[in-house]
Chains A and B, each alone.
Chain A
Amino acid sequence: MGRFGKEFAKGLILSNPVFVLALGLCPTLAISTSIDNALGMSLAVLIVLVAANIIIAAIRNFVPAITRIPIFIVIIATLVTIVNLIFHAYLPATYESLGIFLPLIVVNCIILGRAEAFASKNPVSASIADALGITVGFMLALLLISFIRQLLGTGSLDVMGVHLFTLPGLGEHPIVGFILPYGAFLVIGVIMAIFRWKGVMKSD
């Protein structure tokens, strides 16, 4: 596996941003109520993270160490504002349902974390691989959590306006708690525990 592949693959499981690094938990908990939200959020993070990593890796040799954090934040905030405007103009439904969590990507520690820990020290190509890997890892985590929450919390699965199926029994009496905030903690907690358990088994 080349460097590109290696940097990409680490984001999926080994440094999965949500389950292993435990970064960006606030938006994850808040928007993982439906698969549509998870997809919208992943798309926004994909655009911002890839663009931020490219720009920061490209200018990394010109950035004075003392002002690097303000510079990174200005770049990230600009990208998030652009995504915010574009979503508002062209994807109004996604914009509405993500609400405040779209502009809050500015302070999402996944983005600044990757800028500081990776893009500011590595060339552009590796930074793209890193951004893609982390985003796909983030997306897989969001999809897994929102799949469980939407399925149990509403009893049926609707993706992008298409009704897939309804669970018998749960359809009439969904476990509403899974849509509520505590349902998010419950689901993430259990998945994190499984990740830890598997990790411990492997290191033995």
Chain B
Amino acid sequence: MRAKKFWNQASPIIVLTIVVTVCVSLLTYIDSITRDKIKAQEDEKVLSMLSSMFPDMSSYEYEDEIYTIYTDDVEAGYAFLAISKGYGGDINIMVGLNMDTTIKEISIISQEETPGLGTRIADPAFTGMFTGLDINDVALSREGGKIDALTSSTISSSAVVDAVRETALEKIKLLEAKE
């Protein structure tokens, strides 16, 4: 009788402990076999993005959230991630800078804008306007800059423009401090 009563009270704890232990061990195992693959996957994504932006790239270094791009061991440019609050969610933008801190290229990595309207921020027609600009010209044209806002997607457009400018200014300050 006593043993039965003990079992009735202890079994929830014992069974739950066993289940949790088994689950955690299993997860640790799966994590250990997928970790390298996931890391490689992420690295490859960065590499393909950087090399499409800097076709001559031979290697890159990542420090202080800035990618420094090297062509034959000579610094060729910088790249960094700019994150912006768009109309539908975060917009992640990869920004490439030339050595003279003009914009090399920008590319939208991920976004959750309105399909057909805000999503046009990823089109070359929009991102192409950034190419070659001085940082101070990265602003919407109605604010004195050189980027034309997309029709009926002003929020998405200015989100990209502001994030690129703010982040670039911050990173340039960081780069100058280092030299």
Contact = CB atoms under 8 A, between A and B. Distances in A.
A70 to B, nearest CB: 6
A52 B74 CA distance: 55
Interface range, A side: 20 to 34
B41 A82 contact: no
Contacts of A96: 110
The winner among B20, B30, B110 for most chain A CB atoms within 10 A is B30
B115 A64 contact: no
Given A64-B11, A67-B12, A71-B19, A176 B115 contact: yes
Interface size class of chain B, counting residues whose CB lies under 8 Å from the partner chain = 20 to 34
A92 B11 contact: no
A67 B15 CA distance: 9
Interface string B136-149: 00000000000000
B114 interface: yes
The winner among B37, B38, B115 for most chain A CB atoms within 10 A is B115
Given A67-B12, A71-B19, A179-B115, A78 B37 contact: no
A85 to B, nearest CB: 5
A67 B16 contact: yes
A89 B37 CA distance: 5
A197 interface: no
Contacts of B41: 88-89, 92
A82 B30 contact: yes
Given A67-B12, A85-B30, A88-B34, 9 more contacts: A74-B16, A78-B26, A81-B30, A88-B38, A89-B37, A153-B115, A176-B116, A180-B114, A180-B115
